[in-house]
Amino acid sequence: MSLRIYNLHNHTPFSDGAYTIDELCQAHLDRASLRNHEVLGIGIADHLFCTPSSREVHNEKEFERLFAKETRNYVAMVKEARQQWAGKLQVYCGAEINWPLNKGLLDSVRAMLDGIDYVLFEFVDWAGLTQLANQARRWPCPVVLAHTDVSLQFPNTSLDQVVRTLANARIVYELSAKLMPLANQDRWFRVVPNHRVQVAIGTDTHDDLSCLDALPELHEYVLKFGLGEKIFVPAVRAAEAVSVS
């Protein structure tokens, strides 16, 4: 069966990935495991707003000084690649945000997301998910819960409560190659179809392109649970003029 493939979680040397956007795009088109499928789009989701380990950011002004220009340059980089690959596959501009590092400066983060199509939050605990859910509609782009094994991450919360929290806040759940073997997620995915929750698919590509071979299995798994119409496909957001200087 030919699948319509999306992979919304890839990193480049802009943060901690090994492959450029061009190399990632070409790899998705050339990978033997994907040749019988239609690769429609990939998302670049580099880590943004990562405070250097040697210092702490104490206020919004310092946060903006450190990260505003970097974020504009990142959006410009992805936008340029999007134009170069137009007609071959769609390139989306995502961002991965570390929840523990940034939970105290979310207003500043939101203000810097011009041109970002979606944000993935990693390492979110239950208190964090509740906070995100309360603020989700204030975000200028969709919010995605990244590579989370729900049973392990929220052991004291029922699956029904987790899925209702995601659904009510329109938070997208990411099915990640990090969660394989996927059979371990069966219990969670029996709950998801009963609620209005979209599912993003991503490999969290860093330095090993073999993870791309998991994409057909990830898509087939989503289809097995009747979630084909709920696969998350971002909208491309227009950005204001950006600088790469």
Q: Say how far apart CA 217 and CA 63 lie, in whole Å.
A: 40
pLDDT digits (tens, 9 = 90+) for 111-145: 999 999 999 999 999 999 999 999 988 999 999 99
Go through the domains of the chain in sequence order and give each one's CATH number: 4-230 (3.20.20.140)
| Residue 23 clears pLDDT 90, i.e. is over it | yes
Q: Say how far apart CA 67 and CA 125 lie, in whole Å.
A: 25
Q: What residues are paired with 6 via a beta bridge?
A: 41
Q: Which of 25-29, 36-40, 51-55, 58-62 has the lowest mean pLDDT?
A: 51-55
Q: What is the pTM of this model?
A: 0.94
Q: Say how far apart CA 58 and CA 100 lie, in whole Å.
A: 14
What is the model's pLDDT at position 245? 38
Q: What percent of the chain has pLDDT over 90?
A: 87
